[in-house]
Structure formats: structure tokens, C-alpha cells
Structure 1
Amino acid sequence: MNKILKEVIEHAETWPVEDQEELAEYAREIEARRTGVYSMSDDERAAVRRGLAEADRGEFVPDEIVTEADKRHDG
């Protein structure tokens, strides 16, 4: 490990958990870009499970809301 990276990690150990998680997310994104494989965090994995469970129960966003969101993003 190079000196700069080692120093960043040592400093990061003193950061609040939210900042450490943000740094880990950046590292996952870089790894995904380099390898073509993205590793989800535990929070992301849990969100996907919740979304799939909602879909299995037939709980979808109403079409009107999707249409309105599309209008806002077509800008």
C-alpha cells in the first residue's frame, strides 16, 4: 500500500461512521470501474430485498406518479 493511501486509511479510522461508509462507497465504485463488478453494501442489499418483496406483493408506484416524475426529468 502506498504512503498516501495508508495515511488516508489511518485518518479515516477516526472519522464518523457515515464518513467511513462514504469512503467505502467510493472505493467500491472505483473497484467496480476497474473490474466491471460492483459489490453492493449491506444497506444496498437490504434495499434491493425490500424492493423485490414489495414487487412480489404487487406494491408498485402508481402510473400517475411515474408519469409526473418522467416529465420532471425530461426537462
Structure 2
Amino acid sequence: MLLERVATWPEQAQAEFVRSLEDIETRHIGPYRLSDAERKAVHRGLQEMRERKLADDAAVAAIFDRYRA
């Protein structure tokens, strides 16, 4: 059984396994909790939006059109 073999894996692989299971549990069992890095990225994006640093729809469409041609 896989769970029994996990005990024989290297420590780094076991830690990765635990993180994967925690991610699965979080997605299926409870609300998602942002990490500090994700929270900072959200705040940065909101600030850029308030400062109008984001491309508008026309600019995005122009870029897509340029690469589709």
C-alpha cells in the first residue's frame, strides 16, 4: 500500500507528500487560506488597479491580435 511505503521515502519526499495532502484537504474540506506571499500579491494587484497600472481591454485585445496574425 502506498501509505505504508511513504515511511521509506527520503525526508524531503515525505515532506512534499504531506504538503500535497494538506493542499488537497484544504481544497476539498475547508476554505482556502492565502499564504503571506499570496496576500501580498493580491494587495499589490489591487493597488496597481487603483493606480490604473493595468492594461485596459483594448490594449489587451491589441496584444492578442498582434500575436494571432
Q: Give TM-score, length-normalised by structure 1.
A: 0.49
Query: Which residue, 16, 33, 55 being the options, matches 1:39?
Result: 33
Aligned CA distance change for structure 1 residues 37 and 56 (closer, same or farther; 3 Å): same
How far 1:44 moved relative to its partner?
Answer: 0.9
How far 1:12 moved relative to its partner?
Answer: 2.5
Between the aligned residues of both structures, percent identity stands at 29
Query: Which residue, 42, 50, 75 being the options, matches 2:44?
Result: 50
Structure with bigger RCO (C-alpha 8 Å, 6+ apart) = 1
Question: What are structure 2's unaligned runs of at least 5 residues?
Answer: none
Partner of 2:55: 61
Aligned CA distance change for structure 1 residues 46 and 4 (closer, same or farther; 3 Å): farther
CA contact (8 A) 1:54 1:60 kept: yes
CA RMSD of aligned residues (A): 3.6
Matched AA of 1:11: E
Structure with larger Rg: 2
The number of residue pairs the alignment matches comes to 60
Partner of 2:12: 12
